[in-house]
Copies of this chain bind each other. A is one copy, B any other.
Amino acid sequence: MNDNFLKACRGEKTSPVPVWFMRQAGRYLPEYQKVRGNHDFLTLCKTPELAAEVTIQPIDILGVDAAILFSDILIPLEAMGAGLSFEEGRGPVLEPPVRSRDDFRKLHSIDPVSDVPFVLETIRILRKELEGRVPLIGFSGAPFTLASYLIEGGTTKSFLNIKKMMYGAPDLFASIMDLITEVTISYLNAQIEAGAQAVQVFDTWAGILPRAEYSVHALPYVKRIMQALSDAGVPRIYFVYDGGHLMDLIKQAGSEVMGLDWRTDISMAVRHLGSDIVVQGNLDPCAMFLPEDRLREKIAAILEMGREARGHIFNLGHGVLPEIPPEKVKLAVDIAHELSS
């Protein structure tokens, strides 16, 4: 098996540096569009053969060093009793939103085996079909991020409702976070039992928090997840979007790998946190609009900074944009491999 990804997670230097991209299975790929054209997004997530098919596409097409389960971070919320739908152009909708103790009482814990069997089946299929070519990454949302969808009822610019609850009804907020944390632990454990060889926890929205609030209202729950998985024997990646101001706190979460968005540079992370970190990232997805020679410079700069850390997994700082031509994405993978061999 090409286990450069797992080695890098453990802090071993590899040649080349492993590469995978967030949303590497997705809309920018005509092969994905073809499958997606016949099925809505949730059906795709819930049909193991299809989810496995689109998960594998970028392995063949791009030559990346890890596969990541095709799914959505909101799947466990639906299993908990939240109403989930995806509307074209509007993104995910969670209705009714959870704003009161009564709303909260309608949510419940989950048993992944019976409540999200399709996720586990997708993982089992993938492990077979990947035949050990590259490791498979499972994932979940982080509690603050999931709570934000649940409480806001979807995406938001202002985060007014979640902050209102966090500041105004901290006990209710903590109850929601506790339940999500418990669900996330069993969800990730089930993924690992089904065959996930690493897990990434996506904290898309915690970066909107002040440090003091992140410390109290987000970090402890992620810590709990990381601790609960510490004996599972797979590397844990924690990715906080827009978390530049939280880096020292993010490190305390206790994951093996820290995912960085494109804003923060790896040198700065090393300068503030020391070189004993394993980082994943962090090319600006928009950098793929650069002409090849400039793209090469950007990738070279990131790889060079990556060498300052104990370990480095090359990735984007956020998901691949649908607007990028697939050949440019492949080019970025090839350049990263070539420059780090």
Report which A residues bind B (CB closer than 8 A): 158-160, 163-164, 167-168, 207-213, 242, 244-246, 262-265, 268, 272, 284, 286-287, 289-291, 294, 298, 301, 317, 321, 323
Chain B residues near A291 (CB, 8 Å)?
168
Q: Contacts of A245 on B, CB cut-off 8 Å?
A: 244-245, 263-265, 268
8 closest A-B pairs by beta carbon, nearest first, are A244-B245, A163-B286, A167-B289, A244-B244, A245-B264, A167-B290, A168-B289, A245-B263
CB atoms of B207 and A167 under 8 A apart? no
Q: Is the interface of A mostly helix, strand, loop or mixed?
A: helix
Q: Which of A210, A244, A289, A301 has the most CB of B within 10 A?
A: A210
Find chain B residues with CB under 8 A from A317 CB.
Answer: 210
Report chain B residues within 8 Å CB of A263.
207-211, 245-246
Give the chain B neighbours of A211 by CB distance below 8 A.
263-265, 268
List the number of copies, as a whole number. 2
Residue of B nearest to A301 (CB): B212
| Distance in angstroms between the alpha carbons of A272 and B160 in the assembled complex | 30
Q: Which of B246, B301, B321 contacts A160 (CB 8 A)?
A: B321
Shortest CB-to-CB span from A281 to chain B, Å, is 10
Residues on the B chain within 8 Å of A212, using CB: 265, 298, 301
A73 CB to closest chain B CB (Å) equals: 18
> Closest CB-CB distance, A99 to chain B, in whole Å?
13
Contact present for A164 and B244 (CB under 8 Å): no
Please report the C-alpha to C-alpha distance between residue A218 and residue B339 in the assembled complex, in whole angstroms: 29
Chain B residues whose C-beta falls within 8 Å of the C-beta of A294 in the assembled complex? 167
Q: Residues of B contacting A164 with CB < 8 Å?
A: 286, 289
A265 to B164, CA, bound (A): 20
CB neighbours (8 Å) of A272 from chain B are: 272
* Complex-state Cα separation, A245 to B337, whole angstroms: 28
Q: Give the CA-CA distance A287 to B159 in the complex, in Å.
A: 12
Is the Cβ of B242 less than 8 Å from the Cβ of A286?
no
